[in-house]
A and B are shown apart, each in its own frame.
Chain A
Amino acid sequence: MRLVTRARLKSPWILHFDCGSCNGCDIEILAALTPKFDAERLGVVNIGDPKQADVIVVTGPANPRSARALRSLYEQTPDPKVVVAVGACAATGGVFRNCENVFGGVDKVIPVDVYVPGCAARPEQIIDGLLLALRKLKEKDGG
């Protein structure tokens, strides 16, 4: 395996964007970075800058307005990148399925690589989702 690919798998910098979730998943993403779960063990850093991010972690069912912001964030993030949709509403709309102003899933806006179920998704599931996303990143690299 190439050295860069190996490094890539050990340093996923995440960009977190909430496009309409109830906060449950967002606080769990933050909880995954704090002492009990400490995703920084795996090199995860919440970087907040799309230009330096590798993994875009999206929560929420997406509405027309946040979709615009999400699309621009996705375009700003340089390759290689993966998108993780956290929570039931980011995958399918979940409990917000019949709300008037939602698209029902992030995959209607940007291509999604990994879906994490749960409402709200637990930190364990989020860490698993990140690891799965990294495997996808490796496949994209041809490793």
Chain B
Amino acid sequence: MVSMETVFSAVALVAAPFAGGLLMGVDRKITARMQSRMGPPVLQPFYDVLKLWGKSPVITSRLQPILAFGYLGFSFLSVALLLFGGDLLSIVFTAALAEVCIVTVSMSAKSPYSYLGGRRELFCMLSTEPLMILSALSIYIVTRSFIVENVLTFEEPLLPLLPGAFIVTGIVLLIEMRKSPFDVSASSHAHQEIVRGVYTELSGYTMALVEVGHWIRTVLVLSIASIFWAPNILVGWGLALALLFMVILADNAFPRLSWQRMVKTSWALGFALIAANVLLLVVTGGATI
């Protein structure tokens, strides 16, 4: 017998890329308005991806299509794990696998821009992965479980207990969405010293796949952020969207920083916030270690 929840999760899984594309469109619109422009229509990301799908690709290495599919597939898998109540840690690792795919794509090409982009993407991974794991750990400390299903059924909202971990998720979102100040590996507008960075060698349908994968990853991080108000999914998503707005605001208020600065900032800020948060929990008796 298929339960209601399973059906809901399956629908959400199918809707995830569309939601991601829509969020990207809203992001581009808000960014444009912040720059006092009109901005593209909200459906613009879908036009872009459809067009890329129909364009004849330039395949520079044989690995490229497989890895592009891999990026999309693993991103999908991580969202699926989240929706079907999987393990937070395995979600983080699956997401990292997707990242490995795109790094391999860019490293396997001859272009120096792509190579440098891949290297910087590795540094992005180096900044985000520990923060994701720490975030998951701090959730574990409160709820005594890594399983999303158990976290969701935890009796009280997590945010008052874990404000630090929530901010850390915001930093992860900033890096994951490739927004200033941390858009070191690639940027949507390509006004950057390494042109399109990791995306340089992608074209046609491989680029479309990676673009959709990127949307899904954004949805993934936002859903993790929404867990912080687990009892009520609507409040949770409201929080996640507020985080998205803060990220867009940061994108427009900062220049791009160097990758060294990115690693330093994210580690220092991330570790400090999580440590302070855990300390607070112990002091207030919210959790026992």
Contact = CB atoms under 8 A, between A and B. Distances in A.
B168 to A, nearest CB: 32
B58 A40 contact: no
B47 A35 contact: no
Contact of B38 (A11, A41, A78): A41
Interface stretch (A1-9, A65-73, A95-103, A119-127): A1-9
B199 A78 contact: no
Nearest to A7: B50
Q: Taking chain B's interface residues, is the majority helix, strand, or loop, or is none over half, making it mixed?
A: loop
Interface in B179-209: 188-191, 195-196, 199-204, 207
Contacts of B277: none
B44 A43 contact: yes
A51 B40 contact: no
B57 interface: yes
A35 B37 contact: yes
A55 B11 CA distance: 38
Interface size class, chain A: 20 to 34
A8 B49 CA distance: 9
Contact of B48 (A3, A11, A79): A11
Given A11-B44, A43-B48, A49-B195, A80 B55 contact: yes
Contacts of B86: none
Contacts of A41: 37-41
Nearest to A34: B37
A108 interface: no
Q: What 4 A-B pairs have minimum CB-CB distances, sorted nearest first? A: A4-B54, A7-B50, A51-B203, A48-B190
Interface of B: 28, 32, 35-41, 44, 46-58, 188-191, 195-196, 199-204, 207
Given A40-B32, A47-B196, 4 more contacts: A3-B50, A11-B44, A52-B207, A78-B203
